[in-house]
């Protein structure tokens, strides 16, 4: 076998695969039945062998959510007192080209992460001398078995984030990190400025750029700061490809982060309500064209046994919107 995986005969000559031998291109029955089950690094929040993005507006807490996730992976225990780490991470790589050393080191101290630096936590900031490519062989080696964090992910992409071809190249770069053996890949990503006027979350309004960004993900969590003084952050899952996500929830950073290094969760899943209840009224949802037709279609799909989340995905609205539509329509009859 050559270095490229091409068969060699006993004289070490390349054997040209027969064009009729197309079955070797595909996974076998044995590989399928013996494929391991989907695994989570943090139950209900962070999936292994998958790409996760945290989407939100600037200064709304994306880095804090990422560092809380790192903290849980390194220490074990539960993220936001709710989501349990399945085991402690062997190694965490945190790349943050948007922050200099001193301010980021201060955040590491806030989350009690300094003791892990150089042991199981390895980070790189804007203060590093040279720009680092995600395809650097040294980084790919370090990524083997590691949990990788990109803050923000778009800083590792060349070209225009709205260009679909550039997004496909960026996706392929992240896939190469996966092939190198990264256990998880988590990135922070900015929302479009228009999200500040919205009172709902979807994959499209949480992530800036072309739709190819959302397409490559396994999971996306949207975040929105709803109380600056207490640093309350509303978090909602807007994409979960392979697991059933929880309902939205609210975490609070002050004063607990400064006092203990951990977020509190005053409103767990099922008790956070809709985002619209926590943002200014002027940020209300714009009228939805053809709403009556969509409500009728929602009832039809509901009758077929589809969940509100699946219906929302078909109609291009959030799960909570579908639930509200059906409830209001039923009350009106």
Dist. CA 125–CA 18, nearest whole Å: 50
Average pLDDT value for the chain: 87
Q: Given this model, what pLDDT does residue 333 score?
A: 47
Residue 21: the pLDDT is 83
* Alpha-carbon dihedral sign for residues 163, 164, 168, 171: positive
Question: What pTM value is reported for the model?
Answer: 0.77
pLDDT at position 17 is 65
Mean pLDDT over 53-81 rounds to 96
Q: Where are the alpha helices (DSSP H) in the chain?
A: 29-33, 62-75, 101-110, 137-142, 164-179, 203-206, 211-215, 256-260, 291-303, 308-315, 319-332
* Mean pLDDT lowest among 38-47, 152-161, 226-235: 152-161
Q: Is the pLDDT of residue 216 over 50?
A: yes
The encoded tokens of residue 178 equal 């996966």
Q: Distance between CA atoms of 292 and 315, rounded to whole angstroms?
A: 12
Q: Which two tokens stand for residue 21?
A: 């031998």
- For 18-27, what is the mean pLDDT? 84
Q: By the 8 A CB rule, do 160 and 168 touch?
A: no
Give me the residue label for tokens 């980084």: 139
* 171-177 contact pairs (CB < 8 A, 24+): 171/212, 171/215, 171/216, 173/134, 173/135, 174/51, 174/134, 174/216, 175/216, 176/134, 176/135, 176/140, 177/134, 177/140, 177/143, 177/148
Question: Whole-angstrom Cα distance, residue 119 to residue 304?
Answer: 53
Residue 46 has a CB neighbour count (10 Å cut-off) of 24
Residues 6 or more apart in contact with residue 19 via CB below 8 angstroms? none
pLDDT for the residue 144: 96
Q: Please spell the DSSP secondary structure of 257-324, one letter per residue.
A: HHHHS--EEEE-TTSS--GGGTS-GGGPPPPPTTHHHHHHHHHHHHHTT--HHHHHHHHTS-HHHHHH
Kind of pairing, strands 147-150 and 92-96? parallel
pLDDT score recorded for residue 264: 96
Return the bridge partners of 149, or none: 94, 186
pLDDT at 332 over 80: no
User: What is the reported pLDDT for 282?
Assistant: 43
């Amino acid at each position: 076998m050559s270095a490229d995986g091409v068969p060699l005969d006993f004289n070490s000559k390349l054997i040209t695969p027969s064009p009729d031998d197309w079955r070797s291109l595909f996974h076998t029955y044995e590989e399928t039945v013996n494929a391991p089950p989907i695994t989570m690094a943090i139950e209900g929040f962070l999936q292994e062998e998958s790409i996760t993005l945290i989407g939100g507006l600037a200064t709304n807490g994306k880095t804090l959510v990422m560092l809380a996730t790192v903290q849980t992976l390194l220490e074990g225990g539960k993220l936001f007192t709710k989501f349990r780490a399945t085991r402690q991470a062997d190694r965490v790589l945190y790349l943050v080209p948007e922050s200099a050393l001193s301010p980021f080191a201060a955040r590491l101290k806030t989350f009690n992460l300094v003791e892990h630096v150089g042991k199981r936590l390895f980070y790189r900031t804007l203060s590093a001398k040279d720009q680092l490519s995600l395809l650097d062989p040294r980084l790919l080696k370090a990524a083997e078995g590691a949990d990788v964090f990109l803050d923000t992910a778009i800083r590792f992409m060349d070209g225009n984030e709205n260009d679909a071809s550039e997004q496909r190249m960026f996706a392929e770069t992240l896939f190469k990190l996966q092939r190198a053996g990264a256990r998880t890949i988590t990135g922070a990503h900015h929302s479009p400025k228009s999200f500040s006027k919205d009172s709902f979350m979807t994959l499209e309004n949480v992530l800036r750029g072309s739709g190819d960004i959302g397409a490559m993900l396994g999971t996306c969590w949207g975040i929105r700061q709803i109380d600056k003084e207490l640093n309350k952050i509303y978090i909602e899952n807007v994409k979960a490809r392979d697991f059933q996500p929880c309902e939205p929830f609210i975490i609070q950073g002050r004063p607990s982060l400064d006092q203990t290094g951990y977020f509190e969760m005053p409103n767990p899943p099922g008790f956070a309500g809709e985002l619209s209840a926590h943002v200014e009224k002027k940020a209300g949802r714009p009228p939805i064209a053809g709403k009556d037709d969509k409500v009728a279609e929602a009832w039809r799909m509901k009758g077929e046994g589809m969940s509100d989340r699946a219906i929302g995905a078909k109609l291009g609205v959030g799960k909570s919107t579908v639930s509200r539509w059906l409830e209001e329509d039923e009350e009106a009859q």
